[in-house]
Amino acid sequence: MKPVIRTPYFEVGTKNYVYGDKLLEYARAADAAAEKYDIDVLFICPALEVRRVAENTKHLFVLATYMDTLRPGRGCADILPEGLKAAGAVGVMINHCEKPMSLPQMKKTIDRARELDFLVFACADTLDEAKAIAQLHPDIINPEPSEIIGGGKGAGIGSAIGAAVGAGAGALIGNKMDKQQKQLEEQLANQAKVEQTTDQNGLQAIKVTFDGGILFPTGKYTLNAQAKSDLTGFATNLNNNPGTNVQIYGFTDNTGSFEVNQKLSGQRANTVRNYLINSGVDAGRLTAQGLPMQNYIASNDTPEGRAMNRRVEIYITAGQEMIQQAEAGTLK
């Protein structure tokens, strides 16, 4: 049976700041406080620490910081939900800003958690994201703005390379990105907003949001003539800068159900990807993902705001070949 949490409750999240004996020391202190003050305490810790915390405390609700959604059987290096339950976990945290998830990923995780009567503790970066997550019915929603505690979307941009890139190589990549960003700003001056950002490797990247060309009508994922014109020019820029990878995200407003918007956001992202492929961009450079009913950039209370939220954001990041050239000092 799923645990019932009394309010107010207290939450302790160790992340990776402490581990081993020091983490257990924190857990025992939290356990003593729970008994002394007769208050429910959620102790959220990495999966490797769950069993020891659960076996050495009496009053804590032990949650894991993350779990995968696979089932018992084949698989390796995943965090099995049944394994967490056997270790003593009573729930799981999802969507921490340092481990962000899309709404489809959250839904899949919540569905698996329900199978095991797990408590689901969902983090939200903004009020709008909290409203979207609420439609998935987690047990607890915890607002935690990433600008206060760190993390955020940049953590998921680009492909993780597994090793730090040196300062010299990073500077060469930055120079290359500056040149491409300047080209895009001149090329798309009246059609798109072009910004500098950072990928999950700490390398300079580019974010492109089209102002008018890729703003979809409600419930639609077709490109109008202006959008096609903008994307044709954008494809030319990508073909002239072959060392980069491109991530495409489709967004929706809050109109309709989550299921409808989940499908629609993916269709919007893939429509853009397919158009770029048909314009000559190598398909291997392009990924597309729908992010329905989240990451709003305007209020959904007005038609103008909803129109702005129906958008596609495109992130340009250094590819593996560019990184290797930068490290070798040959990137121009």
Mean pLDDT of the region 232-241: 93
Q: Which two tokens stand for residue 262?
A: 């989940």
Domain contains 4? no
Furthest CA-CA distance within the chain: 67
CATH number of domain containing 118:
3.20.20.70
pLDDT of residue 261 exceeding 80, the answer is yes
Based on the fold, state whether residues 100 and 221 are members of the same structural domain.
Answer: no
Q: Which two tokens stand for residue 295?
A: 């990451």
Distance CA 216, CA 244 (A): 27
Kindly indicate the confidence band of residue 155, based on its pLDDT and cuts at 50, 70 and 90.
Answer: very low
**For 178-229, what is each residue's pLDDT tens digit?**
999 999 999 888 778 899 998 877 889 999 987 645 667 778 888 888 888 8
Last residue in a domain, options 121, 151, 181: 151
Last residue in a domain, options 99, 124, 151: 151
Based on the fold, state whether residues 130 and 71 are members of the same structural domain.
Answer: yes
Q: Does residue 44 sit in helix, strand or coil?
A: strand
User: Does pTM top 0.85 for this prediction?
Assistant: no
Based on the fold, state whether residues 119 and 235 are members of the same structural domain.
Answer: no
Kindly indicate the confidence band of residue 145, based on its pLDDT and cuts at 50, 70 and 90.
Answer: low
Based on the fold, state whether residues 35 and 84 are members of the same structural domain.
Answer: yes
Confidence at residue 138, expressed as pLDDT on a 0 to 100 scale: 95
Distance CA 240, CA 273 (A): 17
Based on the fold, state whether residues 101 and 180 are members of the same structural domain.
Answer: no
Q: Tokens 């999802």 label which residue?
A: 94
Based on the fold, state whether residues 186 and 216 are members of the same structural domain.
Answer: yes
pLDDT of residue 28 exceeding 60, the answer is yes
More confident position, 130 or 161: 130
Domain contains 1? no
More confident position, 97 or 214: 97
Based on the fold, state whether residues 31 and 146 are members of the same structural domain.
Answer: yes
Domain contains 3? no
Question: What's the mean per-residue pLDDT of the chain?
Answer: 87
**For 274-331, what is each residue's pLDDT tens digit?**
999 999 999 999 999 888 777 788 888 898 888 888 888 999 999 888 988 998 899 9
pLDDT of residue 114 exceeding 70, the answer is yes
Confidence at residue 150, expressed as pLDDT on a 0 to 100 scale: 44
Segments forming the whole domain that contains residue 301 = 154-328
Mean pLDDT of the region 224-243: 90
Based on the fold, state whether residues 167 and 315 are members of the same structural domain.
Answer: yes
Distances (CA, A) of 29 to 5, 18, 56, 87: 19, 14, 11, 20
Based on the fold, state whether residues 146 and 196 are members of the same structural domain.
Answer: no
Specify the number of domains making up the chain: 2
Q: Which two tokens stand for residue 136?
A: 């998935």
